[in-house]
Structure 1
Amino acid sequence: MTVIALLSVAPVTEDSMAADVADAVAALEDFDVSYETNPMGTVIEAEDVDTLLAAVAAAHKAVDADRVSTFLKVDDKRTDDRPATEKVDAVERELGRPARSDRE
């Protein structure tokens, strides 16, 4: 099975969160997960939910702040082993083009 999640971990602060977010993303390296960070969070893919949740807990704990906000959305499709990239590929097939704009 493949478990996919959208994770956002951030300190509650008015200052830049980049260093703290980097700490959270770096914590994922200790786990057997693949991930891709985007402006709104990090998409994580794991073979099972236990691995995914352990990685998420580590990312949350990696942020050294007085207050940390973590958002997690999990897609645990238990009868399918297709990777997360297949979801984007399917949308792009329907669009007939890449699922992004040309604007920078």
Structure 2
Amino acid sequence: MTVVAFLSVAPVIEGSMASEVAKAVAALDDFDVSYETTPMGTTIEAADAATVFAAAQAAHEAVDGDRVSTLLKIDDKRTKTTTAGEKVEAVEGHLGRPPPGASPGSSDGR
């Protein structure tokens, strides 16, 4: 099973949050997860929900500040293993587009 989650951790401050957000992302490296950071948050993949919760807690605690805002959304599909990349490919397929990273004109769509 693969659990896919979206995590956003940020201190409630004025100015740039980049250095504090970097601490949250770095905390994920201590867990058996893969992740991709985007401008609005980080997509995390793990074998189980417990790992996602533990990684999210560590990311939350890594951020300094009087107030920290954390958003965690989890997709725990228990009947089938589906990765984040496969979810994106499915949407792109419905749009008639090649999967992300695919080379135009290649026989396998990549």
Would you call these one fold, judging by a TM-score over 0.5?
yes
Work out whether residues 93 and 99 of structure 2, in 8 Å CA contact, stay in contact via their aligned partners in 1. Answer: no
> Structure 2: 5+ residue runs without aligned partners?
101-110
- String of CA shifts for 1:42-92, please: whole Å, max 9, x gaps: 000100001110000000000011110001111010111121110000011
* Percent of paired sites with the same residue: 69
Aligned residue type for 1:92: E
Provide the alpha-carbon RMSD of the alignment.
Answer: 1.4
For structure 1, the residue ranges without an aligned partner over 5 or more in a row are none
Moved over 2 A (4+): none
Q: What is the aligned length?
A: 100
Give the SS at the match of 2:87.
helix
Instruction: State how 1:1-104 maps to structure 2 within 5 Å.
Output: 1-97=1-97
CA deviation after TM superposition for structure 1 residue 96, in Å:
1.5
Q: Secondary structure at the match of 2:14?
A: coil
If each structure's strand is expressed as a fraction of its own residues, which one has the higher value? 1
User: How high is the TM-score relative to the length of structure 2?
Assistant: 0.87
